[in-house]
Structure 1
């Protein structure tokens, strides 16, 4: 039986983001942008008047009713794609970049994404085998043996499925890398000893938990460490601290991609020092990691609105922020097109879905932005209360750009309007509408 169009103009919405910071901001955005006589808030799909009623789900990924979305493609909209590993898993992301560059060598990704070395490893004793095909790493290690400390190439290690900065380490030799994995094994052994007497209430649940941890600590990527990074001098409040840019990206249907202009600058907890200036940089990660979720008492003042950063930075033109934003838009467009066209098994945009991604970029001392990672369901709370208007504005743009057009609520003027806060980075037709 052919799918029926909804006969009612009402939009029934289930908003359950399971986040005390985010939930009220989403609701406020919907009420501010949606016609009051159209929006109907519900707790469950069972409350909808008909199976083909216009329905919006804005929930955590695990809570979405995927079957309803797939069975009602004309009337049911959700806030996540189902398959997007090509973007949000670090080892898949590096493969996406390499595949796209093999066919499009002129892409900006060749300049704005550091090449990655991928490998798999279960135990430190097998590191030699894991690095057999990691030619770039082995070549770097050999060169480093002949160089002074300040001249050596440093690498950053990232577990393929970790987030919030977990598992990130710095190294410049095979000995360093071996020590990192051995320390993880020691930590794991200690944890096993601590919990060996615990009762197992649910064997399946415990197996699943071990599976997640195993997958986190099996796939790894190593990338050249970005040094020197861009640093903003005094009298700026976070002077001489490393920072990254958090950009919010909205992907709509199959496929438009927008870059939200109000961005964040997230600063490390301590003043930057080069890796070789510490006896063990992995004991001093607070000067290298800009993930504010890992900061405790020093987190205060670590988050700034990007456009509030000083115009005057030594060695850079006064328009460096606009130049950075323009480059971020180009990088984003190429990255999502590369995933959509080159990794179709692992990124499948749906016409009746949208998704917000938190995309991180790092600037080097010359002002060149490098893509670090792409996060699904980003941690909006790191924005803090002082800057929550940035997140509020983002959700309002989502309503205008992704939700109202899908349900036929956007006027012709709204559909053709060039938006001040949203820059269109990609507009392609994947033939799935």
Structure 2
């Protein structure tokens, strides 16, 4: 870590803390108070309050509010809570390319086992789908196999994700070209513009419209699974993870098995150390699981997707009750899984420990792939740190054993999904961030001395950036 300039006359840390989130802000302030000696820092509301630009500064604000000019000009005394460039991780189509390139170069990489291969394509209008899929051989071969497959339970399913969407928006399931075409036709808004120019302008407007899952017209905003038109260009399609491990959410009858994903908080500091925060969350779908070929998917897509989407941001307030729990509080014994026409998951002793080991391996490899293989699109700085939210899902291997898959990487994750009852998880996370990302940079002694902060180092490489 960088050390403060020797000519700095004031050793105080000036902390600009404005996360613009009433759930997060007090937790950050509490973490600073617990881990930084009280005389060592002073809260400010603007960089203009710095006595001098060379004085020590901590910026912990929203990405758009970070003064990156100040950060770069004062690299030994200024610290921020985000890297400038990290698209290789946080954009789905970039992440897909990052991992595909890394696996091609390193055939024995653990990412080959823990990430489903993706098919990337770009499309603006449903009528151009054929052109967009010219080189999508994996999809076409899958569709051909499905046409010859009489048993619906043995068909291959795919999950479609807009490359730049957030919070699970725009995700769909399909198993044929006809189903994929129908999805894009539903997203295409009807236009009565004679020359089409206004429609094109609207599509290029970064935030003008939200297209709902049933094709609502321009300017209308759907509360459900809609996405803005600026996100309707880059897409990835991945083999659907089936069957997923099914468990019962907290405070829900044990017979009601649902799909879930694991939210893992990851801290990246400097250039480059990466830590996995051991306390993790389990986020459950709003409805009991039904296989993708179930008729309800065709009859009522929105209702059916509630059994497949585990992102609680999309759930109505009533559905969120009991949808979030602690990963380490999940049952030690896996309940009997339903027969879903595929390899049946088998219970394993210490399955949570095995899943955590896989998460650590996949996380370290993903950040190394981005840092070394896609350095143009991921540039860790020696005077920055950042919290990422990584989502994982537990599925199966061919022999019925458990395997953990990386779904996506999120910047500035929505901590409010944790809820008020589990806010202690986030408070502990921020204490760990201060301990690993702030204290060493400024060279102060942590308040309370050394103690377990739940941060497990999974990557430590020197990218030569000082």
Superposition TM-score, scaled by structure 1 size: 0.92
Cα offset, 1:91, TM superposition = 0.1
Which one of 251, 254, 271 corresponds to residue 288 of structure 2? Answer: 271
Q: What's 1:246 paired with? A: 263
Q: How far off its partner does 1:287 sit?
A: 0.2
Q: Which residue in the other structure is 1:327 paired with? A: 358
C-alpha distance in 2 between matches for 1:369 and 1:146:
30
SS at match of 2:389: strand
Q: Which residue is equivalent to 2:457?
A: 424
Deviation of 1:237 after TM superposition, in Å, equals 2.7
Shift of 1:215: 4.0
Partner of 2:103: 101
Q: Provide the C-alpha distance between the structure 2 equivalents of 1:426 and 1:403, rounded to a whole number of angstroms.
A: 18
Counterpart in 2 of 1:159?
A: 162
Contact 1:109–1:335 (CA under 8 A) maintained in structure 2? yes
**2:212 matched residue in structure 1:** none
Would you say 1:285 and 2:305 are equivalent positions? Answer: yes
Q: Distance in 2 between matches of 1:419 and 1:429?
A: 25
1:5 offset after TM fit, Å?
4.7
178, 183, 192: which one aligns with 1:180: 183
Residue ranges of structure 1 left out of the alignment (5+ in a row): 198-202
Identify the residue that residue 343 of structure 2 maps to in structure 1. none
Shift of 1:410: 3.7
In structure 1, the partner of 2:119 is 117
CA distance in structure 2 between the aligned counterparts of 1:278 and 1:308, rounded to whole angstroms: 34
**Residues 362 and 235 (structure 1), Cα distance of their counterparts in 2 relative to 1, 3 Å cut:** closer
1:406 maps onto 2:404 in alignment: no
The C-alpha deviation readout for 1:372-407, integer Å capped at 9, x for no partner, is: 000000000000000000000000001100001000
Task: List aligned pairs for 1:99-248, cutoff 5 A.
Answer: 99-147=101-149, 148-186=151-189, 189=191, 207-209=205-207, 213-232=228-247, 237=252, 239-248=256-265
After superposition, where does 1:234-383 map in structure 2 within 5 Å?
237=252, 239-280=256-297, 282-283=301-302, 284-296=304-316, 297-314=318-335, 315-365=346-396, 366-383=401-418
The alpha carbon displacement at 1:189 in A equals: 4.5
Structure 2 spans left out of the alignment, 5+ residues: 210-226, 336-345
CA separation in 2, counterparts of 1:422 and 1:403? 14
Deviation, structure 1 residue 316: 2.2
Give the corresponding residue for 1:200.
none
Equivalent positions of 1:389-400 (< 5 A) are 389-400=424-435
**Counterpart-to-counterpart distance in 2, 1:104 and 1:215:** 35
Shift of 1:419: 4.0
The question of whether the paired residues in 1 share the 8 Å contact of 2:260 and 2:310 is answered with yes
Asked if the contact 2:251–2:322 (Cα under 8 Å) also holds between the matched residues in 1, the reply is no
Distance 2:251 2:28 in 1: 33
Alignment CA distance shift 1:68-1:231 (3 Å): same
Question: Residue 391 of structure 2 aligns to a residue in which SS?
Answer: strand
1:189/1:249 Cα in 2 relative to 1: closer, same or farther (>3 Å)?
farther
Deviations 1:242-265 (A, max 9, x none): 000000000000000000000000
Give the SS at the match of 2:183: helix
* Preserved CA contact (<8 Å) 1:4 1:52: no
Q: For the residues of structure 2 that align with 1:29 and 1:420, how far apart are their CA atoms?
A: 11
Is the CA contact 1:29–1:396 (under 8 Å) kept in the aligned structure 2?
Answer: yes
Give the equivalent residue in structure 1 for 2:87: 85
**What is the rounded CA distance, in whole Å, between the counterparts of 1:10 and 1:126 in structure 2?**
59
- Indicate which of 52, 66, 76 corresponds to 1:74: 76
TM-score (norm 2): 0.86
Cα deviation for residue 326 of structure 1 reads 1.1
Q: How far apart are 1:213 and its partner, in Å?
A: 4.3
**In 2, are the aligned partners of 1:400 and 1:410 still within 8 Å (CA)?**
no
Distance 2:276 2:7 in 1: 31
* Cα deviation 1:30-86 (Å, max 9, x = unaligned): 011110011100000111111111100000000110100000000000000000000
- Post-superposition Cα deviations, 1:295-346, rounded to whole Å, max 9, x if no partner, equal 1121100000110000011422231111111110110000000000000000
Contact 1:5 1:74 in 2 (8 A): no
- Tell me the SS of whatever aligns to 1:288: coil
Deviation, 1:167, is 0.5
Would you tell me which structure has more helix in proportion to its own residues?
A: 1
Q: Distance in 2 between matches of 1:381 and 1:328?
A: 23
